[in-house]
Amino acid sequence: MRYSIGELARLTGLTVKAVRFYSDRGLVSPAERNSAGHRLYDATALARLNLIRTLRELGVDVATIRRIVDGEVTVADVAARHVGALDVQIRVLRLRRAVLAAVAERGSSPEETSLMNQLAHLTDTERRRLIDDFLRDALGDRPELAGIARTLTPELPDDPASAQVEAWIELAELAQDPEFRAVLRRLVDQHEGGLRRDLAAEVRVAVTPALAAGVPPDSPEAAAVVGGLGREPGRLREWLAVVNDPRRERYVELLAVINGWSAPESLTPALDWLAAAVS
């Protein structure tokens, strides 16, 4: 069976101009010409044009298509290379989307937009250097705090989701906040000054049932809960002034998103109740 250029265009979904272009470039060849000199094509040309259309829709350039139809490379080889290239493009697009989403949500200034874009495009080494500097400044070089430093370290995956990139941008900004670094240093100082046990965990265990039961923080029952913690009210107030900084909990929330952990249970309600109970 023979097909005219118009029939090929109809059968393949290409335009007549496109069929003529591929024919002129030698990607498909006419089987013969009719008495009027018009090109006629066979089933092989139809199949090749369908392949060309598919490859073009997948982003393969004409030069590479020529190499495929000439047998120099296989479709599988080209597909593998394009997958790798698309992975890179997808990563770049995710980064761009994350930055633009953050800018739109915050109503960022040009200066903040530039900073967020820089943070999003840091290399693995640059990200590690930023976090190492933050943790060293906040926690010091104390070997006994190495485990805590590890739990506070974000590990952005090689192929992060947009939410992870957005979380990284915000966390990196927090890590560069001098006031937040000072908050963590004060927590470390309190740890070394006698609050060595995991007071946050003790508060969660002791206060959560009182909250659930609706115990007023100014009641005798609340006083018993506070007494059970075994700390002087003044020491508790000092600790609460630091640990109840919203930036601390926000850092933990962002860390969970970046590292793919379950969302942490908020400690703020328990801390707020305790603050009222010791006021």
User: CA-to-CA distance for 186 and 165, rounded, in angstroms?
Assistant: 29
Domains of the chain: 5-73 (1.10.1660.10), 122-279 (no CATH)
Q: Phi and psi dihedrals of 41, rounded to 5?
A: -125, 155
pTM: 0.66
Give me 123's structure tokens.
């290399």
Contact 138, 124 (CB under 8 A): no
From first to last of the 279 residues of the chain, give the pLDDT tens digit. Answer: 888 999 999 999 999 999 999 999 889 988 888 878 888 999 989 998 999 999 998 888 999 999 998 889 998 988 888 888 888 788 778 878 888 888 888 788 888 888 788 888 888 889 999 999 999 998 887 777 788 889 999 998 877 888 888 899 999 999 999 999 999 888 887 765 555 457 888 888 999 999 999 999 999 999 999 999 888 888 889 889 888 999 999 999 999 999 999 999 899 999 999 999 998
Q: What's residue 197's pLDDT?
A: 54
Q: What's residue 192's pLDDT?
A: 59
Q: What's residue 148's pLDDT?
A: 83
